[in-house]
Every structure is written in C-alpha cells, then in structure tokens.
Structure 1
Amino acid sequence: MSTYSRPQLWLGLLRPKTLFSGLSSVLVAIGYAYSQSHSSWLISVLLILLAVSAQIASNIANDLIDYKRGADTEYRTGPLRPLSKGLISLREVRAALAVSLVVLLTCGLSLIAMSSWWLLLVGLAIVLGIFAYSGGPYPLSYNGFGEVAVLIFFGWVPVVTSYYILGGDPLDSTLWHLATAIGLASANILLVNNYRDYAEDSQTGKRTIVVRFGRDFAPRLYMTNGLLAMGLLYPLFSTWSWVLLQIYILSFLQAHRSLQRSEGEALNRTLALTARNVFVLALIILGLLWLRPV
C-alpha cells in the first residue's frame, strides 16, 4: 500500500517547483512591457495562466511518454514519479493532461482573439514542443537538445510573444537580452536534472547532453549559463544594479557549489535551488527595470 497521500501523489505528477521557470519568463515580459508603458491586467492574468498550464502540461506529457518508453527505472534518484510507480492510474494522468491542455488552449485562444491570428502558429508550436520534447521520431530530450528546447520554449517564445501581445515591439534588442537570460537560467534546471539522472539515462539510452559530453561537462556549462544570464542584463545596468545582482550571484554560487558537491538524491536540493534562482533572476530583472533611469 502507498505511503503517499493523494495530494502528495498529484504534487509529484504536477511538480510545482518547476512552475518557477514558465512563470518567471512571463513576469519578465510583463515587467518590461510595463516599463515601456504597455500594460493590461486582463492580458497579464491570461499570460500567467497560460504559462502555468503549459508547464503543467509539459510535465505530465513528459512523465507519460517516459512511462511508455520505460525510461523511469530502479536507477532513478529524482522526485517521485507516481505514474511509473503505479500510484496514479494511466487514465487519471491522461485526464490531467487533457484538463491542462484545455486551460492552455482556452487562454491561448483568448489571447489570440485579443491580439493577432498569427499567434495561433505560436500556440501550435508550443503544443508540438511539449510532445516533441520527449516524443515523436526524434525526441529532443533523448538526443541532447533538451536544454536548447528550454532556451526556446521557456526563454525566447514566452518572453517575446508575451511582450508582443502586451503591445511591445518583438524586435526590441533589450527584450531579446532578457528572454535569453531567463532561458539560460531555466536551461540549468534541466541540466541539473540530467546530471542527477546520468546513470539511469545511460542505461535506458537517453542521450542527454550530460550523457553525450560526460558528467564533468555539466558544472562547467551550468556556470557558463549563469554568467551569460547575468551578462545579458547589461542594458539594464545603472548605479545601484550591482546591489541587486549580488543577491543573484550569491544564490547562484550556492547552487553551483551544491551541484559540484552533491550526488544522487542530494541533487534534488540543487534542483530546487536552481529553480528558485530562475525566479530570483526574474525578480532581479524587475528590480533593475524599476531602478533603470527613464
């Protein structure tokens, strides 16, 4: 009999800590739009709901596809995967995926109606990206392109598209700096996940970037992503910028040190720290926008 309560099982499936990534990108877009005198409370709420539902759908779809591929084995040291453990039925998981996709499509279609029809193509790309990440003839996460997918779908796509929907110029150079910064910080979440699951992925033929280049490569790429994310914020730098940046630097170094010194289940804490840091970076960006000279 399961020792987990039903709420714990559903939290294991939905993985709320991962919501920081999608939510952070939208908050950055909303904050930058507001700083440029583009704002709408209704659109902002819809964008936040869209980001949360997209992340949840992505999590569930990933678990569902990994379950069908047999990718979750006894080597797994990550957080609870209730489907692979048989603690939640396949029918329940499919129903949860359907609900998250309905919310995603409802918010997406509402935003399209309030903005431009061509955004339907962006919405379609997001839905396809959710399934192409772990499924299809060439699953990105199984071939070392997971981090690139995160940069695109948790950095460029949500930040630039959200800013455009709010009335901004999608070709704004500062906007792309911010989108890339959030995307790189978010990619580190997946990097830690792949670093932790190296043994299991090697056994199941999942050729993540860590499997391809070796475990020693992960901490170096983690540091590179973090440094680039901070450097890309230079358009927002002002006299007091370094005060705020120190907060992120300290948080980032704590997570990087944890990555270097941890193994197995201890890396789940590193994963949580990294997810937290994406949200911290988003708050730092909002602070820099507030301090930015007009």
Structure 2
Amino acid sequence: MQPNLQHHSKPAVASNRGFQVWWQMTRPHTLTASFVPVLLGTALALKHDHFHLGLFAAMLVASILIQAATNMFNEYFDYKRGLDTEHSVGIGGTIVRDGIKPKTVINLAFGFYGIALLLGVYICANSSWWLAVVGLVCMAVGYFYTGGPFPIAYTPFGEVFSGFFMGMLIILISFFIQTGTVTSTSILVSVPSMILVGMIMLSNNIRDLDGDKENGRKTVAILLGKKKAIYLLAGMFTFSYLWVLGLIISGNAPFWTAIVILSAPKAIKATKGFIANNIPIKMAPAMVATAQTNTIFGFLLAVGIFIGHYFS
C-alpha cells in the first residue's frame, strides 16, 4: 500500500507551541493504563507487608514513560504510513496539525525509552536481573505495536498484546519487585485490568473502524463488524465485574473490592455511546469513557484491596 503523499508535505504550522502541544503528544488520557496497574500491584504487595518507596516510584515513572513513548511511536508511524492527516479524528495529530517535526517525535520517544532503561537498571539492581529481559520485551512490544514491517496494532492481536503487557504484566512486575515472588492471587486479580486495558484498544478500533478498513488493517473490530465489536466490549465490561465478584466469593479479594461497581456508569456510557453514534468524532466520548472505566475500576480495586488489608 502506497502512502498518501500529501501527508509527507510540510506540516501545518502549529498555532500553539506551548506546553499543551507537547503534553497532548503523550496522549495523557491513556497514561492511566500504566499508572493504575502499578498502583494495583503495589496494593497487593502491602498484604505481604512489603513496600519499597524507591522501587514503586521508579516503576511508576518507567511505566508512564514507556506508555508515552509507545503513543509517540504510534504518532510517528501513522504519519509515515500516511494514515494521519490534519483532518484525522483522535487525540494524536502533533505532527500533521501542530507542526512538530517527525524526527523530534521519534527522538523524544527513544529518549523516554532511555530514561526508562536507566530506571529499569535501578529496579533490577534492587530486585532481580531477570526483569531486564521482561522489561526489554515490554519495550519491544511498545515499539512494534505500530512500528516495524508487521505492526501488532494492524492485526487482530492488538487488544491481547496491549492488555497482557500494559495490564497484567505491569501489575505482576510491580508486585514482584516489592515481594520477590508472583502469587496465584496476584495473577487472578490482574485479569480484569488486562481485559479493560485491552478494551481501551478495542474502543479505539471501533471508532476508527472505517478508516482502518480502508488502510488494510485487520483489527478485531473490522473482523467482527461494529455491532458485534460493541457486544464484545459490553461483554468484557460485564465479565470484569463478575470476575471481581468471583474473587470475593473465592476469598482471593476482600469484600471491599466490590466498590468497583461504582465505575459501572462509565462502562454503560461507553457502550451506549458506541451504539448511538456512527461518526468517529461523535464516538470519541465513548472511547474516553472506556479509558475512564479502566482508570476508575483499577483505582477502586486497589483501594478495596488496601482497605481490606488494614480493616479486615
């Protein structure tokens, strides 16, 4: 597929080169997908009376930097493949709308990776060097999600990869660096986070379904069609709440974690928003509500675990 040459013309001059442009380039509303799992993994570790502030801070910053860099890789490679224009709908557009040079975006992304690597050295030195392998794999997935000859995001496996690496694995690493182990409970508790992070990607793909189809992508949303993709989204929301109920009944999570139900209105808003709209820009609020579901659900789950540890 040949890229649209108009995308490689001189970018529009940014009307505002202030902090907002650079902040928007990180796609801030997605950063909670890295923050919440770190918080959740650490909350689980407190049950074992383990907490190392330095490791928590390093893991938190490294995860956010990797997520932000992944977003920048997405910005860069979508531009290079001619998928972004100044009229594209979405939270990206730093290159095509704000006039930031592509080289600047890619260099900043690698710079963030460099800082994350240094933080990773500190984490490994204070836990296990085996984490270096895991960390490098995570960073490779972040790059190849939209980079390389066969981007993961263009396949039906985007939700699986993002959910596993940005949802489950971050929780388990955060738990491991505090406790030195991974337990069955930590794995079970990380399942809904894995699902909800994957649903952020699915919501993005539902919104972009028509454009992605034209550009040859084979996402889950394209393979299922909009209606069935929304059913899948709603089903995964429901499964996540039922999973927590199962954790409570089985004794793997305290009763207090039932407060995750307070995030349900956001899940309902997301589902209804996708059902009611077909125009991408009108589906954007539903996509934001999906990300908010993950954020609020994960935060409340961490709070429930924390309360259960100290008050049960």
Range class of TM-score, shorter chain: over 0.9
CA contact (8 A) 1:33 1:166 kept: yes
In angstroms, what is the RMSD of aligned CA positions?
A: 1.9
Indicate the percent of aligned positions where both proteins have the same amino acid: 24
Q: Does 2:175 correspond to 1:159?
A: no
Shift of 1:39: 1.0
Gaps of 5+ in 2: 1-12
Once the two structures are superposed, residues 44-80 of structure 1 have per-residue CA deviations (whole angstroms, 9 ceiling, x without a partner) of 1111101111101110111112222222247732224
Structure-1 residue corresponding to 2:184: 173
CA contact (8 A) 1:251 1:277 kept: yes
TM-score of the two chains, using structure 2 as the length reference: 0.87
Gaps of 5+ in 1: none
CA contact (8 A) 2:257 2:300 kept: no
CA contact (8 A) 1:38 1:168 kept: no
State the SS of the aligned residue for 2:226.
Answer: coil
Once the two structures are superposed, residues 189-213 of structure 1 have per-residue CA deviations (whole angstroms, 9 ceiling, x without a partner) of 1111111111211111122111122
Alignment of 1:1-294 (within 5 A): 1-73=13-85, 76-85=88-97, 87-170=99-182, 172-233=183-244, 234-236=246-248, 238-239=254-255, 241-242=257-258, 244-262=259-277, 263-292=279-308, 294=312
Range 152-161 or range 252-261, more displaced? 252-261
Q: Distance in 2 between matches of 1:278 and 1:98?
A: 27
Q: Distance in 2 between matches of 1:41 and 1:175?
A: 20
CA contact (8 A) 2:163 2:198 kept: yes
CA contact (8 A) 1:142 1:208 kept: yes
Shift of 1:124: 1.2
CA shift in 2, pair 1:235/1:168, >3 Å: farther
TM-score of the two chains, using structure 1 as the length reference: 0.92
CA contact (8 A) 2:14 2:97 kept: no
Once the two structures are superposed, residues 170-196 of structure 1 have per-residue CA deviations (whole angstroms, 9 ceiling, x without a partner) of 1x2221122221111111111111111
State the SS of the aligned residue for 2:156.
Answer: coil
2:198 counterpart letter in structure 1: A
CA contact (8 A) 1:26 1:162 kept: yes
